[in-house]
Amino acid sequence: DWTAEHIVEELIADVQEKVGSGKVLLGISGGVDSSTLALLLARAVGEQLTAVFIDHGLLRLGEREQVEQALRPLGVNLVVVDASEEFLGALDGVSDPEQKRKIIGREFIRAFEREARKYGPFEFLAQGTLYPDVIESAGGEGAANIKSHHNVGGLPEDLAFKLVEPFRTLFKDEVREIARLLGLPDHIRLRHPFPGPGLAIRILGAITREKIDILQRVDDIFISGLREYDLYNQTAQALAVLTPIQSVGVMGDERTYSYTVALRAVTSADFMTAEWAHLPYDFLSTISSRIVNHVHEINRVVYDITSKPPATIEWE
């Protein structure tokens, strides 16, 4: 594709001109925007880039390894930090959704700052800001910001970076096209959005390591099932929610009293509104059996048939 190739060349030249011989810091979330930006910057400035991926312990199964395997071979100087002790410690006993987001936002900045000091000094901070983000923040606190989003937060004065935002004029589809040219694997390139706070807002109530482990296994069965049945790309987002509901079931001759998990999949153009995805019954049946057979902590699976509004996509 000539146009996308041309855009890539231009973006690389712009970055090189702006950054010169300065050092660039980038936060990696595991999503398509920051991963693509990492690849672009590695091409443009090589080792001057330090990409930092903070693992808060609330990622999906294998996610951290996938990001490492996608970026390192393509020359990204990637630092991976296991900060799960700090994050989960700070979240201990917290059940309010907004409180969870605030704590994760705060811990994220703390961890990011620490890495910035360790590998710096950095003159530049790169961000994968897209054109719609520019519009949205110009519009202020709209309906889209009903839930506080703490992905990028205020950094202290002494870490006063100059911003590098090569995707400021681009839409998501264009970034996906650039990602393809730069060699980002499809499983990341075409990935559904995943919230910054991760599984924290998909475990209703207080978070424990055991609950994270349960949800990771359920989520993996659901998402890999969607891929296997070619349904992943027909939905805009799909997720599993671990509820605090325990109910009675039966397993062999034994009565069980275990958790209920909710599956949710939606179609959506812009995530401001969404319709529940009409997944085939046979598929739901297969997934339900796999979950209860493989995840013994779960004895009941329900499917969320609410659209947005009035429900949101996430349950917290």
Identify the residue among 237, 258, 288, 299 touching ligand XMP (CB under 6 A): 237
For position 193 contacting ligand XMP by CB under 6 A, the verdict is yes
Residues 6+ apart with CB under 8 A from 13: none
Identify the residue among 119, 131, 229, 271 touching ligand XMP (CB under 6 A): 271
CB of 276 to ligand XMP, least distance (A): 12
Angle between helices 97-119 and 84-91 (to 10 degrees): 150
Rounded Cα distance between 5 and 55, Å, is 32
Q: Which stretch binds ligand XMP (CB under 6 A): 15-23, 188-196, 219-227, 282-290?
A: 188-196
278-314 residues labelled b (16+ CB within 10 A) or e (exposed): ebeeeebeebbebbbeebebbbbbeebeeebeeeebb
Q: Which stretch binds ligand XMP (CB under 6 A): 162-170, 190-198, 227-235, 297-305?
A: 190-198
For position 229 contacting ligand XMP by CB under 6 A, the verdict is no
For position 168 contacting ligand XMP by CB under 6 A, the verdict is no
Please check whether residue 200 is in contact with residue 104, taking contact to mean a CB–CB distance below 8 angstroms.
Answer: yes
CB of 235 to ligand XMP, least distance (A): 12
For position 27 contacting ligand XMP by CB under 6 A, the verdict is no
Identify the residue among 57, 166, 195, 225 touching ligand XMP (CB under 6 A): 195
Q: Which stretch binds ligand XMP (CB under 6 A): 14-22, 43-51, 281-289, 306-314?
A: 306-314
CB of 196 to ligand XMP, least distance (A): 4
For position 196 contacting ligand XMP by CB under 6 A, the verdict is yes
**Which amino acids are annotated as binding site for ATP, given as ranges?**
29-35
Residue 95 or 151: the one with the smaller Cβ distance to ligand XMP is 151
Rounded Cα distance between 316 and 301, Å, is 19
Residue 229 or 271: the one with the smaller Cβ distance to ligand XMP is 271
For position 273 contacting ligand XMP by CB under 6 A, the verdict is no
Identify the residue among 84, 95, 151, 267 touching ligand XMP (CB under 6 A): 151
Can you give the binding site for ligand XMP, defined by CB under 6 A?
Answer: 101, 147, 149, 151, 193, 195-197, 237, 271, 308, 312-314
